[in-house]
Chains A and B, each alone.
Chain A
Amino acid sequence: MMTKPKVIWLQGASCNGNSHAFFNYPYLKTLLQAFDFLYHPLLPSPLPLASIVNDYSITCDILIFEGSVDAKFNRAGLSSDTLLQRFDGRAKTIIAAGTCASFGGIFSENDQNTSGILYRHEQPLNKPLISQSDVINLPGCPVHPHNLATILLALKANQPIPLDTMHRPKEIYAHTVHQGCSRSEYFEWKVDAKSFGHKEGCLFYEQGCRAPMTHGNCNLVLWNEVNSKPRAGIPCFGCTDPKFPNFSFFHTPKNMSIPAEIPLDVSKRAYLTISGIAKTFSIPRLKKRLLDD
């Protein structure tokens, strides 16, 4: 019988969002049985945090770190950067769960000294906090529990996890959130959504949808197994992006009617030409409500 990998879940400055998303994973019970969870701040744990961090004989296969790294933020009498560094080399793999742990997130917006484990926004840290353990970034606000479970199970099975240049698993983050969007036909023909929460229209042109600029799989691996924000009629906020949440929510910034940001790696000239032509064609089917009253 395969031994259960030992897992420790720690928090820096955090809203608990990644934990709560994780608890909503439909197969949580089965997943937890596959691992030996030594510590989670919100679950009954066999050892107190102080023992876990101060007893160097305690090691783990996987450390899950949630929240941003902030020297002013203490847990068990240790600042969160010291807390994290206690596990450099003691944990075989460190998973940065969520955008705060990956890139600093909202806590780093107004604080130059707050960061993710390896990055502050898009910039690698001058002095990396972790150098001996492998780090996997799983950005998201929160990280999708299915993605976290996928990586945990891949680590358990010793499967290779190809990463991109920002330490994100390509399997998850090589996509853009736009891929799989149920509204893609409206995007192609440049038909705007007229309001939030409707089934019709694309949210990119007016409502600030960041799906075409954001790495993630929200429209391929659905939330609660049923939906995604764009599918439900709410724009993607770009929550996996290193710059999140420094965006204009619910509103597309434009220069003379032209979106200030266009889909990833697309030349503005090409985008404007194609979208301008697409806009010309008025397609009655796409202008109508899908379900007429």
Chain B
Amino acid sequence: MRRSKESKKIDIIKTALRLFSKRGFYTTTIPEIAKAMSMSAGNFYNYFSSKEKLAEEIIRYISEYLATKIRTINESPHLSTKEKIREIVHIYFQIAIEEPEMLDFFLRIYLSNREIYKERCQGITCIMAFVTELMIFFDDGVQKGDLRNQNFFSAFGLFMGYLGGMVFLNGEAILPEPLESYEESITENIYRALKNDDQA
């Protein structure tokens, strides 16, 4: 029973993500989400107590989703640090192409509408799972002598800011080439920016 409620919540999250992406967060109403789920608005509240609660659960869901994929990369001992960068770039762009509403929500709603999250997701609380995996990646890279030891957020900003920027440009149809065609050059750029120059 509990599992079924959880899977229903995920269905609602996916539906809401689609609607938010199409119509915007503020203009999409709970009755519209409920209707798209073929459920009553009253029943919707059995799953999420408010639209803000839904927004919180969505960002946690996206964070966990990304974290799970990066964790798989982190736990692949045969991959070099550079190969791990390539894989992270690849899965990020793959999500942007195949499930654009997910990164759309992250970039356009979570990062741009902090007032929604001020009370519920102070700082990086709701995206900690995702940030943690990046920490594990950087820590491992420094331990192996591949990456330069520096401030975490300087490195994090360079990596994820870059990827987020490219996905944003892609979403705005500004990029002349398909997003995936930039993977190799972006991997090279990130690696060169972060690598340990003292390495033999």
A residues in contact (CB < 8 Å) with B: 254-258, 260, 268-269, 272-273, 276-277, 279-281
A281 engages B149 (CB within 8 Å): no
User: B135–A280 contact, CB under 8 A?
Assistant: no
Q: Tell me whether A255 and B142 are in contact (CB under 8 A).
A: yes
Contact flag A258-B152 (CB < 8 Å), given A277-B125, A280-B124, A281-B122: yes
A272-B136, A276-B128 are contacts. A256–B149 as well, Cβ < 8 Å? yes
Q: Bound state CA distance, A268 and B153, in angstroms?
A: 18
A273 cross-chain contacts in B, Cβ below 8 A: 128-129, 132
Interfacial chain B residues near A277, Cβ < 8 Å: 123-125, 128
| Cα distance, A232 to B123, chains bound together (Å) | 32
Asked if residues A272 and B132 are in contact (CB atoms below 8 Å), the reply is: yes
User: How far, in whole Å, are A273 and B126 apart by their CA atoms in the complex?
Assistant: 11
In the complex, besides A257-B152, A280-B124, 12 extra interface pairs with C-beta distance below 8 angstroms are A255-B138, A256-B135, A256-B141, A258-B135, A258-B138, A260-B139, A269-B133, A276-B124, A276-B131, A277-B125, A281-B122, A281-B123
Chain B window 82-110, contacts with chain A (Cβ cutoff 8 Å), 1 for yes, 0 for no = 00000000000000000000000000000
Q: How many A-B residue pairs have CB under 8 A?
A: 53
> Are A257 and B153 touching (Cβ within 8 A)?
yes
Point out the residue from A257, A269, A276 that lies within 8 Å of B151, measured CB to CB. Answer: A257
Closest partner residue, chain B, to A271 (CB atom): B132
Main secondary structure of the interface of B (DSSP, over half): helix
Interface residues of B in 133-187 (CB under 8 A from A): 133, 135-136, 138-139, 141-143, 147, 149-153, 155
21 of the cross-chain contacts (CB-CB < 8 Å) are A254-B149, A255-B138, A255-B143, A256-B135, A256-B150, A257-B151, A257-B152, A258-B135, A258-B138, A258-B139, A258-B152, A260-B139, A260-B143, A269-B132, A272-B135, A273-B132, A277-B124, A277-B125, A280-B123, A281-B122, A281-B123
Docked Cα-Cα span, A28 to B143, in Å, equals 48
Query: How far, in whole Å, are A258 and B156 apart by their CA atoms in the complex?
Result: 12
Q: Which are the 4 A-B pairs with shortest beta-carbon distances?
A: A280-B123, A255-B142, A257-B152, A256-B138
A276–chain B nearest beta-carbon distance, Å:
5
A279 to B122 Cα, complex, angstroms: 10
Closest residue of chain A to B137, judged by CB? Answer: A256
Q: Counting chain A CB atoms within 10 Å of each CB, which of B131, B135, B142, B151 scores highest?
A: B135
Residues of A within 8 A of B124 (CB): 276-277, 280
